[in-house]
Structure 1
Amino acid sequence: MTTVVLKQATILDKSSSFHNQKVDIKIENGTIVAISSKIETKDTDEVVEINGLHVSQGWMDSSVSFGEPGYEDRETIVNGLNVAAKSGFTTVALQPNAAPIIDNQALVKFVLNKASNNAVSLYPIGALTKESEGTDLAELFDMKNARAIAFGDYQKSMSNANLFKIALQYVQDFDGLVIGFSQDSNIKGKGIVNEGIVSTKLGLKGIPTLAEELQIARNLFLLEYTGGKLHIPTISTQKSIELIKEAKAKGLQVTCSVAVHNLVLNDEVLTGFDSRYKVLPPLRDEATRLALIEAVKNGVIDCITSDHNPIDIEHKKLEFDLAKDGTIGLESAFGALQTVLPTEVIVEKLTAAKSIFNVNNPNIEIGNQADLSLFTTNEDWTFTKENILSKSKNSAFLGQNMKGKAIGIMNNGQLIINN
């Protein structure tokens, strides 16, 4: 029998009777058996005693890419889950952008099998269309039965409005969730960064905010027509916020996320033409960044994702316009967010994806399963290459100031600490 005791941990969990209390927490075989001001420990117990330790319900990242199968040189599922654990995440939703694309029951089962018996719970997102090509719907019902939690084509917009409408209608038969990445590829054209003053100065082709907003407006019109549930990932413009706010006011079942890098960085970092900052949607201007932070605080934006996307050096360290979009983000997510948001808001937005994706979220009470994120909130530090745990090193946060640290997780009966 494994016993873990967390000493003098401040609980941040508004749904718990121990919220904001500094206590000892005793966990036996993955279940919380005692919470009190002082718990005696035995020599055989695993004791976690860290200055300034905080504990919350386990965080979920609603968008991670691990590469496997097919791109194991970028990341493997086992190492990716280890990165997630040491970054404070107990649960991740895995994007289907592997090779082959995760668009059928067999591949959903393959990634689940790779992730079995892990401290981190992995939930696959099935591709919405076959091979994520946007022409035919994938085997959605079969993938749902194989335990896919939602359906979307990673960083690809559905240009066929009728197919998107059919998808929204079809998944209602089994209470499915459609993920609609929003960027009109015709309006994006050859754009690679946010269209604005910085893109003009640098001579880089711009992506107008309109490319995102038109697609969101269209998808929300379709949702209003069909009913059902839609999740809009990684929104990045002020008008997108307004459109989603209006849709929620109408009672539509729509949720949305924002990526950590869009909350922390703006397009002024592009002046050195460093391809680590090439992401999709692109980094926007400072006014938009501040508007996104405000939308997180006032609840229009439901959850925050790292949008973790490992890319090998051959595809990332290139001329800016040739480099692939994406940054790793798990390792830096919490420390970076702490520089722009209050801790309680961060915890709320990192756990909120569980209700969106219908994932169990036990609160911190005696008798409940221990699904816990461990972290500190105060120390100031700088994110360097030594802090990268992923196989790929494409982090937009190198050199960024951080505040507080993710310590690890207690989940599925396993304690993982980032030493």
Structure 2
Amino acid sequence: MTEYLLIALALLGVLILGALGLVVPKLRRRPEPPLPREVETRAEEDLAGPPVLAPEAEVSTGILVEPPVIEAPPLEVPEPTAGRLVRLRSRLSRSQNVFGKGLLGLLSRDHLDEDTWEEIEDSLITADVGIDATRDIVDRLRERTRVLGTRSAGELRALLAAELVNALDPSLDRSLNTAPKDGVPAVLLVVGVNGAGKTTTCGKIARVLVADGRSVILGAADTFRAAAADQLETWAGRVGAETVRGPEGADPASVAFDAVKRGIETGVDTVLIDTAGRLQNKVGLMDELGKVKRVVEKHGPIDETLLILDATTGQNGLEQARVFTEAVNVTGVALTKLDGTAKGGIVIAVQRKLGIPVKLVGLGEGKDDLAPFDAVQFVDALLGTEAPGRDA
């Protein structure tokens, strides 16, 4: 009897387990109650991500908006070049210490003995006048003071000024050849070593030409530095001049050729070509400069080749001038940074050694601090007094 009872209980347990297996899956598949509308919308936004705005160009307000008008900066009017050297004479104050104070002080001594004349020679050599030019100046001063018996300060100043003006050779032609001929603009080629302030001086030369009534196109043939072309373009834009430039690394001769071609097409007076700065001892670079000259001359002869010299380089500048002259036949010198040096005698040395006239002098960092050179006015500024031959 007990055995039958145990069997019945086992069968009952199997039935109960089977019933549970059928019911539980149905409970798991029961659908969840619907979410509230606000919750459902928020869930859809989360899945879709942040809203994507239409581009501004596709959003129409119905109102026409004109682009802002950008006004061109007003053109600058450069200072007249006439009398600039007189106006800028104070910039030569450091050179005045050597010439005006040093030399005149020595010459004013009661007794001009051999030691005094040697001191005078040393002062001139220190001022970069050059040994040969110094000896000529001192010999002539000694003779004239002996013959004339000069002793007054005014007479000594006049004698010294006359000898310095004579050493600068006032007969040299210092005018810039900037006038067009037969419908072809005058071409000015600007050359120089690295660091002489060539591109800046080139921009100032453009202002000199505009101040003298010339229309100008600038050729940015320094293609090794993009900044040089940008700088030149800035200078040109201030006076309303056009700049012809090429891509960085372009053939400089090609850019120079295009600049002159553009000048012929537009009928300007002068084309000013800025070349890359180079060291005078680099044969390849000097040959390239010669190539620029030859290519430009396919349009016609170059009217002026200006060498930019840094006055602070002293006698080293003479070697620079000599090499550049051999490469491109330099016709004139623009001497920069004379305001920051006591070596004003380099003007005499350049002309004495090379026979090349100094045509422009830079006496400051201002836009119009480049002045046409005049021997009498220059000596006047050096000595701080009127030089002979100066108009009252």
Kindly indicate which of the two structures has a greater share of residues assigned to helix: 2
Instruction: With the length of structure 1 as denominator, give the TM-score of the two structures.
Output: 0.27
Q: Which has the higher contact order (CA 8 A, sep 6+)?
A: 2
Kindly indicate which of the two structures has a greater share of residues assigned to strand: 1
Instruction: With the length of structure 2 as denominator, give the TM-score of the two structures.
Output: 0.29
- Larger CA Rg, structure 1 vs 2: 2
